[in-house]
Structure 1
Amino acid sequence: MLPFSQAADNNKGPIHDVLRDYFTAPGELLEIGAGTGQHAVWLAPRFADIGWTPSEQPDYLDALLPRLAAEPAGNLRPAIGLSVQDNAAWPAGPFDYVLTVNTFHIMSRDQVACCIDQACRRLTPGGRFAVYGPFRYGGQPTTDSNRRFDESLRARDPAMGLRDQEWVVARFADHGLALLGDHAMPANNRVLVFG
Protein backbone atom coordinates (compact mmCIF):
# COMPACT_ATOMS: atom_id res chain seq x y z
CA MET A 1 0.00 0.00 0.00
CA LEU A 2 1.27 3.45 -0.92
CA PRO A 3 1.25 6.17 1.76
CA PHE A 4 -2.03 8.06 1.44
CA SER A 5 -3.36 11.39 2.69
CA GLN A 6 -7.12 11.92 2.53
CA ALA A 7 -6.62 15.68 2.77
CA ALA A 8 -4.32 15.64 -0.27
CA ASP A 9 -6.87 13.63 -2.21
CA ASN A 10 -9.63 16.05 -1.22
CA ASN A 11 -7.79 19.27 -2.04
CA LYS A 12 -5.95 18.37 -5.26
CA GLY A 13 -8.88 19.39 -7.48
CA PRO A 14 -9.54 22.76 -5.84
CA ILE A 15 -5.81 23.52 -5.84
CA HIS A 16 -5.64 22.74 -9.56
CA ASP A 17 -8.61 25.01 -10.25
CA VAL A 18 -6.71 27.95 -8.74
CA LEU A 19 -3.27 27.17 -10.13
CA ARG A 20 -4.46 26.85 -13.73
CA ASP A 21 -5.10 30.61 -13.75
CA TYR A 22 -1.53 31.37 -12.61
CA PHE A 23 0.69 28.54 -13.88
CA THR A 24 -0.07 29.27 -17.52
CA ALA A 25 3.25 29.21 -19.39
CA PRO A 26 5.77 26.41 -19.95
CA GLY A 27 8.53 26.30 -17.36
CA GLU A 28 9.99 24.51 -14.36
CA LEU A 29 8.31 24.02 -10.99
CA LEU A 30 9.65 23.14 -7.56
CA GLU A 31 7.19 21.56 -5.13
CA ILE A 32 8.33 22.00 -1.53
CA GLY A 33 7.14 19.35 0.92
CA ALA A 34 5.63 16.90 -1.57
CA GLY A 35 4.61 14.47 1.19
CA THR A 36 3.01 11.32 -0.18
CA GLY A 37 3.41 12.52 -3.77
CA GLN A 38 -0.32 12.57 -4.43
CA HIS A 39 -0.28 16.18 -5.59
CA ALA A 40 2.77 15.66 -7.79
CA VAL A 41 1.43 12.65 -9.67
CA TRP A 42 -2.05 14.14 -10.11
CA LEU A 43 -1.15 17.74 -10.89
CA ALA A 44 1.94 17.24 -13.07
CA PRO A 45 0.05 15.63 -16.00
CA ARG A 46 -2.45 18.50 -15.87
CA PHE A 47 0.40 20.99 -16.33
CA ALA A 48 2.13 19.02 -19.05
CA ASP A 49 4.29 21.95 -20.22
CA ILE A 50 5.78 22.41 -16.76
CA GLY A 51 8.66 20.26 -15.50
CA TRP A 52 7.59 19.24 -12.00
CA THR A 53 10.31 18.62 -9.37
CA PRO A 54 8.93 17.29 -6.08
CA SER A 55 11.02 17.71 -2.94
CA GLU A 56 10.77 16.49 0.62
CA GLN A 57 12.89 16.41 3.75
CA PRO A 58 15.49 13.65 3.33
CA ASP A 59 14.05 11.65 6.25
CA TYR A 60 10.65 11.53 4.53
CA LEU A 61 11.70 10.67 0.98
CA ASP A 62 10.83 7.03 1.58
CA ALA A 63 7.15 8.00 1.76
CA LEU A 64 7.36 9.97 -1.49
CA LEU A 65 9.41 7.83 -3.86
CA PRO A 66 7.12 4.76 -4.17
CA ARG A 67 4.18 6.78 -5.49
CA LEU A 68 6.36 8.65 -7.98
CA ALA A 69 7.64 5.31 -9.25
CA ALA A 70 4.15 3.81 -9.41
CA GLU A 71 2.55 6.77 -11.22
CA PRO A 72 5.17 8.32 -13.53
CA ALA A 73 4.51 11.25 -15.83
CA GLY A 74 6.60 12.55 -18.70
CA ASN A 75 7.15 15.94 -17.05
CA LEU A 76 7.65 14.61 -13.51
CA ARG A 77 11.28 15.08 -12.50
CA PRO A 78 13.16 12.90 -9.98
CA ALA A 79 12.41 13.84 -6.38
CA ILE A 80 15.07 15.63 -4.37
CA GLY A 81 15.82 15.79 -0.66
CA LEU A 82 15.43 19.31 0.68
CA SER A 83 15.72 20.74 4.18
CA VAL A 84 14.69 24.37 3.80
CA GLN A 85 17.31 25.74 6.19
CA ASP A 86 20.15 23.85 4.51
CA ASN A 87 21.27 26.34 1.87
CA ALA A 88 23.48 23.75 0.18
CA ALA A 89 20.52 21.39 -0.31
CA TRP A 90 18.55 23.79 -2.49
CA PRO A 91 18.59 23.04 -6.22
CA ALA A 92 20.17 25.71 -8.37
CA GLY A 93 17.05 26.32 -10.42
CA PRO A 94 15.93 28.64 -11.77
CA PHE A 95 12.25 27.85 -11.35
CA ASP A 96 9.30 29.58 -12.96
CA TYR A 97 6.91 28.25 -10.34
CA VAL A 98 7.08 27.16 -6.70
CA LEU A 99 4.28 25.34 -4.90
CA THR A 100 4.01 24.31 -1.28
CA VAL A 101 0.98 22.70 0.32
CA ASN A 102 0.31 22.45 4.05
CA THR A 103 3.87 23.17 5.12
CA PHE A 104 4.02 26.68 6.56
CA HIS A 105 2.10 25.76 9.72
CA ILE A 106 4.38 22.80 10.49
CA MET A 107 7.56 24.80 9.88
CA SER A 108 8.88 27.26 12.44
CA ARG A 109 8.70 30.96 11.57
CA ASP A 110 12.44 30.92 10.86
CA GLN A 111 12.01 27.94 8.54
CA VAL A 112 9.15 29.66 6.70
CA ALA A 113 11.23 32.82 6.29
CA CYS A 114 14.18 30.76 5.04
CA CYS A 115 11.95 28.83 2.64
CA ILE A 116 10.57 32.03 1.15
CA ASP A 117 14.03 33.58 0.94
CA GLN A 118 15.73 30.63 -0.73
CA ALA A 119 12.87 29.86 -3.12
CA CYS A 120 12.48 33.48 -4.20
CA ARG A 121 16.20 33.63 -4.98
CA ARG A 122 15.63 30.81 -7.47
CA LEU A 123 12.44 32.18 -8.98
CA THR A 124 12.66 33.60 -12.48
CA PRO A 125 11.53 37.19 -13.11
CA GLY A 126 7.76 37.04 -13.43
CA GLY A 127 7.67 33.68 -11.66
CA ARG A 128 4.85 32.60 -9.37
CA PHE A 129 4.91 31.14 -5.86
CA ALA A 130 1.73 29.50 -4.52
CA VAL A 131 1.16 28.59 -0.88
CA TYR A 132 -1.76 26.42 0.26
CA GLY A 133 -2.87 26.05 3.87
CA PRO A 134 -4.65 27.67 6.80
CA PHE A 135 -3.66 31.17 7.89
CA ARG A 136 -4.46 33.67 10.59
CA TYR A 137 -5.76 37.11 9.63
CA GLY A 138 -5.32 40.08 11.92
CA GLY A 139 -3.59 37.74 14.35
CA GLN A 140 -6.60 35.43 14.66
CA PRO A 141 -7.65 32.10 13.12
CA THR A 142 -10.62 32.58 10.82
CA THR A 143 -12.76 29.76 12.26
CA ASP A 144 -13.15 27.78 15.47
CA SER A 145 -11.79 24.67 13.75
CA ASN A 146 -8.67 26.57 12.66
CA ARG A 147 -8.28 27.90 16.19
CA ARG A 148 -8.38 24.36 17.59
CA PHE A 149 -5.95 23.20 14.91
CA ASP A 150 -3.58 26.06 15.73
CA GLU A 151 -3.74 25.22 19.44
CA SER A 152 -3.09 21.52 18.77
CA LEU A 153 -0.04 22.35 16.65
CA ARG A 154 1.41 24.67 19.28
CA ALA A 155 0.78 22.08 21.99
CA ARG A 156 2.70 19.54 19.94
CA ASP A 157 5.55 21.94 19.19
CA PRO A 158 5.57 25.63 20.19
CA ALA A 159 7.44 26.45 16.96
CA MET A 160 4.51 25.22 14.86
CA GLY A 161 1.26 27.05 14.25
CA LEU A 162 -0.78 28.94 11.70
CA ARG A 163 1.14 31.83 10.18
CA ASP A 164 -0.23 35.35 9.97
CA GLN A 165 -1.18 36.05 6.38
CA GLU A 166 0.09 39.63 6.73
CA TRP A 167 3.49 38.41 7.94
CA VAL A 168 3.77 36.00 5.01
CA VAL A 169 2.83 38.76 2.56
CA ALA A 170 5.52 40.99 4.08
CA ARG A 171 8.18 38.29 3.70
CA PHE A 172 7.40 37.95 0.00
CA ALA A 173 7.38 41.74 -0.37
CA ASP A 174 10.96 41.72 0.95
CA HIS A 175 11.80 39.93 -2.30
CA GLY A 176 9.73 42.19 -4.52
CA LEU A 177 6.83 39.74 -4.89
CA ALA A 178 3.27 41.01 -4.54
CA LEU A 179 0.18 39.09 -3.48
CA LEU A 180 -1.59 38.32 -6.76
CA GLY A 181 -4.45 36.35 -5.24
CA ASP A 182 -5.82 35.11 -1.92
CA HIS A 183 -8.33 32.37 -2.62
CA ALA A 184 -10.75 30.71 -0.20
CA MET A 185 -10.54 26.92 -0.33
CA PRO A 186 -12.47 24.02 1.20
CA ALA A 187 -11.86 23.09 4.85
CA ASN A 188 -11.01 26.69 5.81
CA ASN A 189 -7.79 26.79 3.83
CA ARG A 190 -6.46 29.41 1.44
CA VAL A 191 -4.23 29.61 -1.60
CA LEU A 192 -1.95 32.64 -1.62
CA VAL A 193 -0.26 33.35 -4.95
CA PHE A 194 2.70 35.69 -5.23
CA GLY A 195 4.47 37.06 -8.25
Structure 2
Amino acid sequence: MTQKPYSESCERNRAPILSVLQRYLGDARHVLEIGSGTGQHAVHFAAALPWLRWQASDHVDHLPGIRQWLEEAALPNTPAPIELQAVAGATPGLQPTPEADVRFDAIFAANTLHIMGWDNVQALFAGLPALMAPQALFIAYGPFNYNGAFTSDSNRTFDDWLKARDPRSGIRDFEAIDALAAAQGLALREDVAMPANNRLLVWQRLCG
Protein backbone atom coordinates (compact mmCIF):
# COMPACT_ATOMS: atom_id res chain seq x y z
CA MET A 1 0.00 0.00 0.00
CA THR A 2 1.20 3.50 -0.81
CA GLN A 3 2.36 5.49 2.21
CA LYS A 4 -0.21 8.00 3.43
CA PRO A 5 0.48 11.64 2.56
CA TYR A 6 1.61 13.68 5.53
CA SER A 7 1.75 17.39 6.34
CA GLU A 8 3.77 18.61 9.30
CA SER A 9 1.88 21.92 9.27
CA CYS A 10 -1.43 20.07 9.72
CA GLU A 11 -0.05 18.42 12.84
CA ARG A 12 1.11 21.78 14.20
CA ASN A 13 -2.01 23.81 13.52
CA ARG A 14 -4.78 21.29 14.18
CA ALA A 15 -5.05 21.96 17.94
CA PRO A 16 -5.38 25.77 17.75
CA ILE A 17 -7.83 25.47 14.86
CA LEU A 18 -9.91 22.92 16.74
CA SER A 19 -10.16 25.20 19.76
CA VAL A 20 -11.99 27.74 17.59
CA LEU A 21 -14.09 25.19 15.69
CA GLN A 22 -15.38 23.83 18.99
CA ARG A 23 -16.77 27.28 19.81
CA TYR A 24 -18.62 27.60 16.51
CA LEU A 25 -19.68 24.10 15.48
CA GLY A 26 -21.61 22.95 18.53
CA ASP A 27 -24.90 23.05 16.61
CA ALA A 28 -23.50 22.01 13.22
CA ARG A 29 -24.49 18.71 11.66
CA HIS A 30 -23.00 18.86 8.16
CA VAL A 31 -19.58 20.41 7.50
CA LEU A 32 -17.79 20.60 4.15
CA GLU A 33 -14.01 20.91 4.05
CA ILE A 34 -12.70 22.47 0.83
CA GLY A 35 -9.13 21.53 -0.05
CA SER A 36 -8.74 18.67 2.42
CA GLY A 37 -5.19 18.00 1.18
CA THR A 38 -3.78 14.99 3.00
CA GLY A 39 -6.96 14.29 4.98
CA GLN A 40 -5.28 14.80 8.36
CA HIS A 41 -7.56 17.67 9.38
CA ALA A 42 -10.66 15.71 8.40
CA VAL A 43 -9.71 12.82 10.67
CA HIS A 44 -8.67 14.98 13.62
CA PHE A 45 -11.67 17.30 13.56
CA ALA A 46 -14.25 14.58 12.89
CA ALA A 47 -12.90 12.55 15.81
CA ALA A 48 -13.10 15.56 18.13
CA LEU A 49 -16.54 16.65 16.87
CA PRO A 50 -18.41 13.33 16.65
CA TRP A 51 -21.90 14.88 16.45
CA LEU A 52 -21.29 16.28 12.97
CA ARG A 53 -20.68 14.74 9.55
CA TRP A 54 -17.36 15.97 8.14
CA GLN A 55 -17.30 15.89 4.33
CA ALA A 56 -13.78 16.07 2.92
CA SER A 57 -13.24 17.29 -0.64
CA ASP A 58 -10.41 18.22 -2.99
CA HIS A 59 -9.10 17.90 -6.53
CA VAL A 60 -9.36 14.34 -7.80
CA ASP A 61 -5.58 13.85 -7.55
CA HIS A 62 -5.72 14.22 -3.76
CA LEU A 63 -8.66 11.89 -3.11
CA PRO A 64 -6.66 8.61 -2.85
CA GLY A 65 -4.50 10.02 -0.05
CA ILE A 66 -7.52 11.39 1.79
CA ARG A 67 -9.21 8.00 1.52
CA GLN A 68 -6.20 6.36 3.17
CA TRP A 69 -6.50 8.60 6.22
CA LEU A 70 -10.28 8.18 6.44
CA GLU A 71 -10.21 4.42 5.97
CA GLU A 72 -7.49 3.94 8.57
CA ALA A 73 -9.37 6.06 11.13
CA ALA A 74 -12.69 4.31 10.29
CA LEU A 75 -14.77 7.06 11.85
CA PRO A 76 -18.56 6.86 11.45
CA ASN A 77 -18.89 10.55 10.57
CA THR A 78 -16.46 10.83 7.64
CA PRO A 79 -18.06 9.81 4.34
CA ALA A 80 -15.90 9.16 1.30
CA PRO A 81 -14.21 12.33 0.01
CA ILE A 82 -15.73 14.04 -3.01
CA GLU A 83 -14.16 15.82 -5.95
CA LEU A 84 -14.67 19.56 -5.61
CA GLN A 85 -12.64 22.39 -7.07
CA ALA A 86 -13.03 26.06 -7.86
CA VAL A 87 -13.43 26.62 -11.59
CA ALA A 88 -12.88 30.17 -12.82
CA GLY A 89 -15.63 31.47 -15.08
CA ALA A 90 -18.01 28.67 -14.13
CA THR A 91 -21.39 28.85 -12.46
CA PRO A 92 -21.67 28.37 -9.52
CA GLY A 93 -17.87 28.30 -9.50
CA LEU A 94 -17.41 25.18 -7.38
CA GLN A 95 -17.76 22.10 -9.56
CA PRO A 96 -18.99 19.47 -9.29
CA THR A 97 -21.17 20.34 -6.33
CA PRO A 98 -22.53 17.73 -3.89
CA GLU A 99 -26.13 16.57 -4.18
CA ALA A 100 -28.57 19.43 -4.68
CA ASP A 101 -30.41 18.75 -1.43
CA VAL A 102 -27.27 19.07 0.71
CA ARG A 103 -26.75 22.42 2.40
CA PHE A 104 -23.86 22.59 4.82
CA ASP A 105 -24.01 24.24 8.24
CA ALA A 106 -20.35 25.21 7.90
CA ILE A 107 -17.65 25.21 5.22
CA PHE A 108 -14.00 25.04 6.26
CA ALA A 109 -10.86 25.69 4.22
CA ALA A 110 -7.28 25.65 5.51
CA ASN A 111 -4.25 26.90 3.59
CA THR A 112 -6.08 27.05 0.27
CA LEU A 113 -6.66 30.70 -0.64
CA HIS A 114 -2.95 31.49 -1.06
CA ILE A 115 -2.34 28.36 -3.15
CA MET A 116 -5.07 29.12 -5.68
CA GLY A 117 -4.99 31.74 -8.42
CA TRP A 118 -7.06 34.84 -7.68
CA ASP A 119 -9.62 33.91 -10.34
CA ASN A 120 -10.13 30.58 -8.58
CA VAL A 121 -10.46 32.32 -5.21
CA GLN A 122 -13.21 34.46 -6.74
CA ALA A 123 -14.87 31.33 -8.14
CA LEU A 124 -14.74 29.64 -4.73
CA PHE A 125 -16.57 32.50 -3.04
CA ALA A 126 -19.09 32.75 -5.89
CA GLY A 127 -19.95 29.08 -5.37
CA LEU A 128 -20.38 29.21 -1.61
CA PRO A 129 -24.06 30.29 -1.38
CA ALA A 130 -25.25 27.25 -3.33
CA LEU A 131 -23.66 25.00 -0.70
CA MET A 132 -24.59 26.88 2.48
CA ALA A 133 -27.61 26.48 4.73
CA PRO A 134 -29.23 29.63 6.15
CA GLN A 135 -26.92 31.20 8.76
CA ALA A 136 -24.11 28.82 7.75
CA LEU A 137 -20.48 29.65 8.49
CA PHE A 138 -17.47 29.90 6.22
CA ILE A 139 -14.21 29.43 8.13
CA ALA A 140 -10.83 30.01 6.48
CA TYR A 141 -7.38 29.41 7.98
CA GLY A 142 -4.07 30.70 6.68
CA PRO A 143 -1.80 33.74 6.38
CA PHE A 144 -3.29 37.07 5.33
CA ASN A 145 -1.97 40.56 4.67
CA TYR A 146 -3.62 43.61 6.23
CA ASN A 147 -3.74 47.02 4.56
CA GLY A 148 -1.51 45.62 1.83
CA ALA A 149 1.31 44.77 4.24
CA PHE A 150 2.82 41.50 5.40
CA THR A 151 2.34 40.75 9.08
CA SER A 152 5.81 39.20 9.47
CA ASP A 153 9.10 38.69 7.66
CA SER A 154 8.40 34.97 7.55
CA ASN A 155 5.14 35.61 5.68
CA ARG A 156 7.01 37.81 3.20
CA THR A 157 9.50 34.99 2.62
CA PHE A 158 6.66 32.49 2.26
CA ASP A 159 4.95 34.74 -0.30
CA ASP A 160 8.17 34.89 -2.35
CA TRP A 161 8.34 31.08 -2.25
CA LEU A 162 4.71 30.77 -3.34
CA LYS A 163 5.16 33.13 -6.29
CA ALA A 164 8.35 31.39 -7.40
CA ARG A 165 6.41 28.12 -7.40
CA ASP A 166 3.32 29.57 -9.08
CA PRO A 167 3.08 33.28 -10.01
CA ARG A 168 -0.72 33.09 -9.68
CA SER A 169 -0.54 32.24 -5.99
CA GLY A 170 0.36 34.40 -3.00
CA ILE A 171 -0.79 35.58 0.41
CA ARG A 172 -4.11 37.37 0.02
CA ASP A 173 -5.13 40.74 1.40
CA PHE A 174 -7.73 40.36 4.12
CA GLU A 175 -9.68 43.34 2.80
CA ALA A 176 -10.00 41.80 -0.67
CA ILE A 177 -11.11 38.45 0.75
CA ASP A 178 -13.62 40.12 3.07
CA ALA A 179 -15.04 42.03 0.08
CA LEU A 180 -15.56 38.75 -1.80
CA ALA A 181 -17.34 37.34 1.24
CA ALA A 182 -19.55 40.41 1.64
CA ALA A 183 -20.54 40.22 -2.04
CA GLN A 184 -21.95 36.74 -1.34
CA GLY A 185 -23.92 37.85 1.73
CA LEU A 186 -21.36 36.77 4.33
CA ALA A 187 -20.54 38.94 7.36
CA LEU A 188 -17.32 38.61 9.34
CA ARG A 189 -17.96 37.20 12.80
CA GLU A 190 -14.40 36.90 14.09
CA ASP A 191 -10.77 37.26 13.03
CA VAL A 192 -8.69 35.07 15.33
CA ALA A 193 -4.90 35.33 15.67
CA MET A 194 -3.26 31.92 15.34
CA PRO A 195 0.30 30.64 15.82
CA ALA A 196 3.01 31.23 13.18
CA ASN A 197 1.43 34.47 11.91
CA ASN A 198 -1.73 32.80 10.63
CA ARG A 199 -5.37 33.82 11.11
CA LEU A 200 -8.69 32.01 11.38
CA LEU A 201 -11.49 34.02 9.75
CA VAL A 202 -15.12 33.23 10.48
CA TRP A 203 -17.94 34.57 8.30
CA GLN A 204 -21.67 33.89 8.61
CA ARG A 205 -24.31 33.87 5.91
CA LEU A 206 -26.86 36.60 6.50
CA CYS A 207 -29.73 35.28 4.41
CA GLY A 208 -31.46 32.01 3.62
Shorter-chain TM band: over 0.9
Map of 1:18 onto structure 2: 20
Q: Distance in 1 between matches of 2:196 and 2:77?
A: 30
Q: Distance in 1 between matches of 2:167 and 2:51?
A: 41
Aligned-residue offset at 1:62: 2.1
Aligned-residue offset at 1:87: 4.4
- In structure 1, runs of 5+ residues without a counterpart are none
- 5 Å matches for 1:19-168? 19-85=21-87, 87-91=94-98, 92=100, 93-168=102-177
Question: Relative to 1, partners in 2 of residues 1:26 and 1:179: Cα closer, same or farther, differing over 3 Å?
Answer: closer
Deviations 1:59-91 (A, max 9, x none): 221221111111121111110111221644121
CA RMSD for the aligned pairs? 1.2
TM-score if structure 1 supplies the norm length? 0.96
Q: How many residues align?
A: 195
Map of 1:191 onto structure 2: 200
Divergent runs of 4+, >6 A: none
Q: Which residue identity does 1:60 align to in structure 2?
A: H
Deviations 1:79-127 (A, max 9, x none): 0111221644121331111000000000011111111121232111111
Of all paired residues, the percent bearing the same amino acid is: 41
Greater mean alpha carbon deviation, residues 80-89 or residues 37-46: 80-89
Q: Contact between 1:41 and 1:72, CA under 8 Å: does it hold in 2? A: no
TM-score if structure 2 supplies the norm length? 0.90
